[in-house]
């Protein structure tokens, strides 16, 4: 008997040993055995995805205090530590072999040194705790898009969350070919007090892309611990780079057009910028809200939702603006809330939920009351700005039937959007594919939100809404996008949207529901059924087309004054943006494709010519 089998036999009960060996892949056995040796758990639980096993994970999460039951028996609440309520970008590090470099924009360290830190921090980290081993699949099962993943964790909350978010893969692993590429995830919450990680100063996420492995330590926040989410995205981007496809931080939805037509769009928005709410716009159907894989198949761009659930920001979810999510969160569909307020009647509240301010409750700080302050004298809100909900898509009334289609869906358009107060108009179409990739995708900027640690409201460079997760040199990543459609017979149009444009008094000049109209216009443009005005930065809508769409879909009288305010081309701001983007690429990205600078310079020339002829702020009618 080899060492792996000895370790497994000693650590596993007979039942768990049999469940693991039912998966014949020896690499799986080795990974589990190595994790046991390193983390030294008290017990090991192998989940086979049966109803009994998955319910055991949920019940144990409650019994251990990782989740708190609510009056609704299908709902629970999880609290992260006071300092552990968002993705920790600074402590997320790529382990780079000697001689490799991912570019200056990514945090990285020598691989050997990083693995030493992993060994030190994870050694004995599961002492007196139970290890959970789970098997999942990214993308539909038995698909050209499928990526198998092993998740090991000592957090039953993490294991339960993944049960709602991902496709269970135990049986898939049992028939997996020996040479199939697998992603490996190992997480430990570390030392706990009241079920909360206490060593947050030693929090870390280490990505060893050479072995397709991710190690997460001393943290519980889902963005740092649920390996199949953004952690696996980093590995998928490298896999896509090798194989000629794209792994993207994108929603996938069907916009419903005239005569029952459905056109599928992907959309990349940084967290907190309207990504999920766009994918949930009334009258359309959702395939996924966060991650997508895109491939060229039979000459067409096709895509799948990597996940089967939503880990969404709950702040500002209201019955009026988000009726589908609201209804699900008040139904008997399973849901995990995180970092919200538990009320005295065992309900939940979150910021800007449309109700009166609560008088008391329990939140991440313990018993909460109005005016409660932290140790620095700062008032503690009743819920965190980055409070979340975790649900499965199967409970949504607007779920598109294509979710599990192994061939994915044909992409009819691609959207890029960020939090931009003074530059982009609400919606525009690129001049062509390369123009969209460069001036919309690669030039995306956005103000920071509570989804990541650090100050909010700071304008940041955020290309493709994916900078935090890109695991190859950025220039190569851009070139991959430029090259992606070279073998496609049908190239989808690229659009840019901006829901956060403000006036001189810092007031938003579009309404939350206006995105309904922007989507309908893009759907018509994708089929060439409405015209557009050519501007120096792209094609924008005609007023009469938007007026009709507002009337039909929002029953709203859209005025020409609103149109002029929203679609005025702000030349100085656009020129400043080009300068910022050029400076960023020339100073920090060594392998930037020359085409980027050429297209930005061409856009500058068009803007300068328009400015010379028409001024700084140009009404859309001036371009007709």
Q: To which residue do tokens 């030693």 refer?
A: 202
468 pLDDT tier (thresholds 50, 70, 90): confident
Q: pTM for the whole thing?
A: 0.94
**Length reported for the chain:** 624
Q: Show the CA angle centred on residue 105, arms to residues 100 and 107, nearest 5°.
A: 65
Q: Given this model, what pLDDT does residue 452 score?
A: 55
pLDDT for 443 beyond 70: yes
pLDDT for 106 beyond 90: no
* Terminal C-alpha separation, the chain: 79
Element (H, E) at 131: strand 130-138
Cα separation values, 380 from 169, 371, 389, Å: 41, 7, 20
453 pLDDT tier (thresholds 50, 70, 90): low
Lookup: tokens for 346: 């065992």
Distance of alpha carbon 42 from alpha carbon 37, whole angstroms:
11
pLDDT for 34 beyond 80: yes
Distance of alpha carbon 254 from alpha carbon 261, whole angstroms:
9
193 pLDDT tier (thresholds 50, 70, 90): confident
| Mean pLDDT (the chain, rounded) | 94
Residue ranges of domains in the chain, CATH in brackets: 3-61+85-244 (3.40.449.10), 256-291+407-623 (3.90.228.20)
CA of residue 268 relative to chain centroid, distance: 9
Cα separation values, 57 from 171, 192, 425, Å: 18, 18, 47
Q: Which residues contact 291 (CB under 8 A, 6 or more apart)?
A: 229, 233, 247, 248, 249, 250, 305, 306, 307
3-state secondary structure of 288: strand
Q: Given this model, what pLDDT does residue 49 score?
A: 97
Share of the chain above pLDDT 90, in %: 87
Residue 91 or residue 46, greater confidence: 46
Distance of alpha carbon 79 from alpha carbon 380, whole angstroms:
15
Q: Given this model, what pLDDT does residue 455 score?
A: 58
Q: Given this model, what pLDDT does residue 86 score?
A: 81
DSSP assignment of 435-461, as one string? HHIIIIITT-EEE--TTBSS-SS-EEE
Lookup: tokens for 27: 């690499």
Q: To which residue do tokens 């206006």 refer?
A: 514
CA-based radius of gyration for the chain: 24
Interval 527-555 mean pLDDT: 98
Q: Given this model, what pLDDT does residue 196 score?
A: 86
CB 154 within 8 A of CB 129: yes
Identify the weakest region by mean pLDDT among 362-376, 403-417, 591-605.
Answer: 362-376
Three-class DSSP labels, 243-311:
HCCEEECCEEEEEECHHHCEEEEEEECCCCCCHHHHHCCCCCEEEECCCEEEEEECCEEEEEECCCEEE
Q: Given this model, what pLDDT does residue 449 score?
A: 60
Lookup: tokens for 152: 């090991």
CB 192 within 8 A of CB 127: no
pLDDT digits 0-9 by tens, 128-151? 999 999 999 999 999 999 999 999
Half-sphere exposure of 606 (CA within 13 A, CB side): 17
Lookup: tokens for 126: 């599961």
Q: What is the dihedral of CA 202, 387, 284, 266, to 10 degrees?
A: -20
Q: What is the dihedral of CA 309, 311, 315, 321, to 10 degrees?
A: -20
Q: Show the CA angle centred on residue 77, arms to residues 335 and 138, nearest 5°.
A: 45
Q: Which residues contact 402 (CB under 8 A, 6 or more apart)?
A: 254, 264, 287, 408, 409
Give rounded-to-5 percent helix, strand, coil for the chain.
Answer: 35, 25, 40
3-state secondary structure of 232: helix
462 pLDDT tier (thresholds 50, 70, 90): very high
pLDDT digits 0-9 by tens, 488-506? 999 999 999 999 999 888 8
pLDDT digits 0-9 by tens, 295-349? 999 999 999 999 999 999 999 999 988 889 999 999 999 999 999 999 999 999 9
Element (H, E) at 522: helix 515-526
Cα separation values, 323 from 216, 285, 336, 484, 511, Å: 35, 13, 18, 37, 16
CA neighbor of 119 nearest in space, from 39, 26, 21? 39
Active site residues: 273
Lookup: tokens for 89: 């970008």
Half-sphere exposure of 134 (CA within 13 A, CB side): 34
């Amino acid at each position: 008997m080899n060492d792996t089998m000895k370790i497994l036999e000693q650590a596993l009960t007979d039942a768990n040993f049999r469940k693991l060996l039912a998966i014949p892949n020896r690499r799986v056995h080795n990974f589990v055995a190595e994790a046991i040796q390193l983390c030294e758990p008290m017990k090991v639980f192998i989940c086979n995805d049966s109803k009994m096993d998955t319910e055991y994970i949920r019940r144990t999460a409650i019994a251990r205090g990782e989740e708190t039951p609510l009056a609704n028996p299908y709902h629970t609440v999880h609290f992260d530590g006071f300092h552990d309520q968002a993705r920790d970008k600074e402590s997320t590090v790529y382990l780079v072999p000697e001689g490799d470099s991912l570019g200056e924009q990514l945090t990285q360290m020598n691989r050997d040194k990083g693995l030493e830190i992993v060994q030190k921090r994870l050694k004995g980290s599961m002492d007196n705790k139970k290890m959970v081993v789970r098997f999942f699949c990214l993308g539909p099962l038995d698909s050209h898009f499928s990526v198998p993943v092993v998740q090991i964790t000592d957090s039953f909350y993490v294991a339960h969350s993944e049960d709602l978010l991902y496709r269970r893969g135990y049986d898939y692993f049992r028939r997996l070919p020996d040479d199939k590429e697998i992603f490996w995830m190992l997480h430990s919450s570390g030392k706990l007090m009241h079920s909360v990680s206490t060593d947050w100063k030693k929090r870390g996420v280490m990505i060893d892309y050479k072995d397709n492995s991710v190690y997460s330590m001393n943290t519980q926040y889902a963005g740092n611990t649920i390996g199949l989410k953004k952690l696996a995205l980093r590995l998928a981007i490298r896999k896509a780079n090798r194989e000629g496809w794209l792994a993207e931080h994108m929603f996938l939805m069907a916009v419903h057009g005239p005569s029952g037509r459905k056109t599928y769009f992907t959309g990349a928005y940084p967290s907190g910028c309207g990504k999920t709410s766009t994918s949930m716009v009334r009258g359309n159907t959702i395939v996924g809200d966060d991650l997508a894989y895109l491939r060229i198949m039979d000459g067409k761009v096709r895509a799948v939702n990597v996940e089967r659930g939503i880990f969404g920001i709950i702040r500002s979810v209201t019955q009026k603006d988000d009726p589908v999510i609201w209804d699900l969160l008040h139904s008997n569909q399973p849901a995990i809330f995180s970092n919200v307020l538990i009320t005295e009647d065992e309900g939940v509240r979150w910021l800007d939920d449309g109700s009166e301010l609560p008088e008391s409750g329990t939140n991440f700080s313990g018993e909460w009351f109005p005016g409660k302050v932290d140790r620095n004298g700062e008032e503690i809100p009743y819920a965190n700005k980055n409070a979340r909900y975790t649900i499965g898509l199967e409970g949504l009334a607007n779920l598109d039937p294509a979710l599990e289609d192994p061939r994915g869906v044909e992409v009819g358009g691609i959207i890029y959007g960020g939090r931009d107060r003074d530059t982009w108009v609400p919606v525009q179409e690129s001049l062509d594919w390369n123009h969209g990739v460069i001036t919309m995708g690669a030039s995306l900027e956005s103000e920071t939100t509570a989804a990541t640690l650090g100050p909010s409201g700071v304008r940041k460079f955020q290309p493709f809404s994916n900078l935090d997760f890109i695991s190859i040199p950025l220039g190569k990543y851009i070139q991959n996008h430029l090259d992606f459609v070279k073998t496609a017979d049908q190239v989808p149009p690229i659009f840019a949207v901006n829901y956060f444009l403000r006036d001189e008094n810092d007031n938003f000049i579009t309404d939350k529901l206006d995105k309904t109209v922007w989507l309908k216009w893009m759907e018509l443009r994708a089929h060439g059924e409405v015209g557009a005005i050519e501007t120096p930065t792209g094609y924008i809508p005609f007023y009469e087309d938007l007026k009709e769409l507002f009337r039909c879909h929002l029953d709203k009288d859209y005025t020409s004054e609103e149109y002029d305010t929203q679609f005025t081309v702000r030349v100085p701001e656009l020129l400043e943006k080009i300068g910022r983007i050029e400076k960023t690429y020339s100073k920090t990205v060594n392998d930037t494709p020359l085409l980027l600078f050429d297209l930005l310079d061409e856009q500058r020339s068009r803007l300068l010519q328009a400015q010379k002829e028409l001024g700084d702020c140009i009404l859309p009618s001036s371009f007709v």
